[in-house]
Amino acid sequence: MGILNLTPDSFSGDGLIRGGDFVEAAAAQARRFAEEGADILDVGGESTRPGSRPVTAEEEMARVIPVIERLAQEVNLPISIDTYKAQVAEVALDVGACLVNDVWGLRMDPDLGPLVAERGVPVILMHNRSRPKDAAQSERLGGRYVGVEYEDLMADLIRELRGSIEGALNAGVEWGKIIVDPGIGFGKTVEQNLEILRRLGELRVLGRPILLGTSRKSVIGYTLDLPPEERVEGTGATVALGIASGADIIRAHDVRETVRVARMTDAIVRPPLDSS
């Protein structure tokens, strides 16, 4: 899943709204991602970095809708809309998106679950305990969360993801259309993120495909003492170990490098079935 950040303030430094024709910039990046082996394009218009400023649905749509319309015409890949707002998701689905990626796991907007059910599209339910008071900033390494407490990290994570799954099912979403994401970096400290990555396989108890999004995140930056643009090798390590633990979808900024890591890891841990 290749990331298209239509924001001016992305934590990773890859926000496409920095002056100029952002629609053309996004289309060029999407074409490059397709050539590099991406399977899905994830389009988002609101930064989710620690301490980021929320945007209105109108502002978010002004960023993402023209891009999704363009990509639907030019790039032969499924498009995901990264939003927790039903109003944004509805228009995005109208113009060409076919998957909803909700960083709040259907807990923020009560209208999003019924919309996903009505449209019959897949939905990614992410675990999220982000609170502004827990966010800390470093000029060089960016934002991270500190002092976030869990009674039992993996048990709490699984219980809360199960709650999101139940909410989706209650809204009419089909079981086979649900994907889960542990939410690396969202309301977890560096140490907690490392523990989740170490124990990622435990999420398989949920019985749903797992999306892993570690690309350039602060857990890598603070572990290796590196800024976002120098985190590709650290990202690769998390991707390889994540796939070995059962991750099915990898969300990434550096598509070419991540595709190579994923394909090599697949060759080792998920060899093709013997057709003979």
Mean of the pLDDT values across residues 242-261? 98
Hey, how many other C-beta atoms are within 10 angstroms of the C-beta on 175? 10
Order of strands, sheet of 41-44, starting from the edge strand that comes earlier in the sequence: 2-5, 41-44, 79-82, 99-102, 123-126, 178-181
Residues carrying an active site annotation? 217, 251
At 222, which amino acid appears?
A: Y
Q: What is the pTM of this model?
A: 0.92
Question: Do residues 257 and 232 lie in contact, with contact meaning Cβ atoms separated by under 8 Å?
Answer: yes
> What percent of the chain shows pLDDT beyond 70?
93
**Structure tokens given for 42:** 């994830």
Task: Look at residue 12 in the predicted model and tell me its pLDDT.
Answer: 46
CA distances from 257 to 170, 213, 231, 249 (A): 39, 15, 11, 15
CA distance 23 to 1: 19
32-71 per-position pLDDT tens digit: 999 999 999 999 999 877 666 789 999 999 999 999 999 9
CA distance 56 to 36: 33
CA distances from 23 to 26, 46, 196, 271 (A): 5, 16, 36, 39
Task: Look at residue 19 in the predicted model and tell me its pLDDT.
Answer: 60
Domains identified in the chain and CATH numbers: 2-266 (3.20.20.20)
112-163 per-position pLDDT tens digit: 999 999 999 999 999 999 887 677 877 778 888 888 899 999 999 999 999 9
